[in-house]
Amino acid sequence: MASTAKSRWADAEEDAAFEEKRRRDKEKKEEKRRLKVIEKAKKEKEAEAARRAASTSNAGNNNTDDVDGDRPLKRRKYTPEPHDSRRAAQNGTPKERGEITAAPEGSLLRLTGGSLPDPCRSVERYEKLNDIEEGAYGWVARAKDKATGEVVALKRLKLDANDRSGVPVTGLREIQLLKDCAHRNVVELREVVVGDRRPIDNILLVLEFVEHDLKSILEDMPQPFLASEVKTLLRQLASGVAYLHGRWILHRDLKTSNLLLNNRGQLKIADFGMARYIEEDTSGGSTSHLTALVVTLWYRAPELLLGARRYGRAVDMWSVGCIFGELLTREPLLQGKNEADELARIFDLCGVPTDATWPGFRRLPNARALRLPPSSQHQQSTTAAIRGKFPLLTTAGCSLLASLLSLDPEKRPTADEMLDHEYFRQDPRAKQEAMFPTFPSKAGQERRRRRDTPNAPQRGGAVADLGNMDFTGIFGGRDKEERGAGFSLRMV
């Protein structure tokens, strides 16, 4: 017998009721949408009528001819009323009060307070002559202004194509700082130019051209500078650093390759890629946290090697001390292979830090795990070590160099104190700049120089972690030596 059961997929009464409910809901939504369209059209019509009425009223008040209501209104010019001019004459000029000035009859409203800066000119105004050198944050070339024939230096900023932020902060800081500086011992920024195709990828600084950098001169000189010439260079360096520090600027990469020297004996501080403004507290340290990964390794202060995040002008003065020693020997004073080796060379020259010579150094991040020899093992002072390394330097010179290379940042002199040091008042006096020797300009002939010297640390890199370094054997065998001025005698 066949089954007469109804299929489970057949339409039931509930399905029919559900479909009817959906149809009614859809009709209600369509009715609401239609009413909204009608209401919107009504409001637009009323607004258009109000605009036409206002246009007619304005045309009547201004004694102008009737215009078509569909024609868009022109922007009205702001003109002063006669009584406004009389009131301005009585109360002073609006510019003096910092207000908006009323434009004269028939002119547009204008704002006081300065105009927009001129747009950057094209680099095509300059003819490239030759490359000079390449640094960590850009390459430098010699160029000539096609209009005036003046020779300048073009520094192209290195931009990361993968960096979506655009111009790096180092480049922006360098432009800002150089535009704010005007000193005879600081390189001059003439203008900023861009390329024609992709300006964001081709930004160049137009700097005054200086014939030499101090590093190249020291490498090519057969004999070191005379004592009077060293004083001339140091005095100019201290003057430039004093100007920067007086304007709350830290250079943070002072080294001989960043010091330029022209053929008139004038020294100029250059390469502000790592410089920045700071705010110092009463102790000379920064009030904000800064990165410790600054300054080229051979000129980096010990507090930076130990991971200090708060530092001030003393880091630049340590670099000045390293440059002082390099001027005397024509070689970098502390040529460390890495951070640990650099710290070992510093301790070898300046002594092992103690709580007496450098209070609070143990609180620095990288100093907590250091194993140092007992303080009694090495009693020689920094001045005695420097006297043994530089036997021809006067007592005042040794004192100045020892103070600049003091482990404790608070004991280093400021740039102004350095200029008042007795070393510059003793004979031989500093040689006049006009009498300074001249050298062939390598920047005018060579294509590009690549030196076997470390570069400035890259921004955003990781600060070296010294870890558990053992410095206990750094002065091994020193007890068997007798030191004198300029020689070491080992007792047999």
Q: Which string of DSSP letters, residue by residue, matches 116-154? A: PPPPPEEGGGEEEEEEEEE-SSEEEEEEEETTT--EEEE
What separation in angstroms does the CA of 199 have from each of 155, 159, 177, 365?
14, 11, 21, 42
How far does Cα 123 stand from its chain's mean position?
23
Non-local (6+) Cβ contacts of 160 within 8 A are: 168
DSSP-derived 3-state class of residue 22: helix
DSSP-derived 3-state class of residue 392: coil
Does the active-site annotation cover 253?
yes
Query: How would you classify residue 213: left for phi > 0, otherwise alpha for psi between -120 and 50, otherwise beta?
Result: beta
Q: Tell me which of 213, 253, 271, 316 is the catalytic residue.
A: 253
What separation in angstroms does the CA of 418 have from each of 137, 396, 433?
30, 12, 19
In terms of Cβ atoms closer than 10 Å to its own Cβ (0-12, 13-18, 19+), residue 88 is middle
Angle at alpha carbon of residue 371, lines to 369 and 372, rounded to 5°: 135
CB atoms within 10 A of CB 464: 18
Distance separating alpha carbons of residues 142 and 133, to the nearest angstrom? 10
What separation in angstroms does the CA of 310 have from each of 89, 266, 316?
54, 33, 14
Active site residues: 253
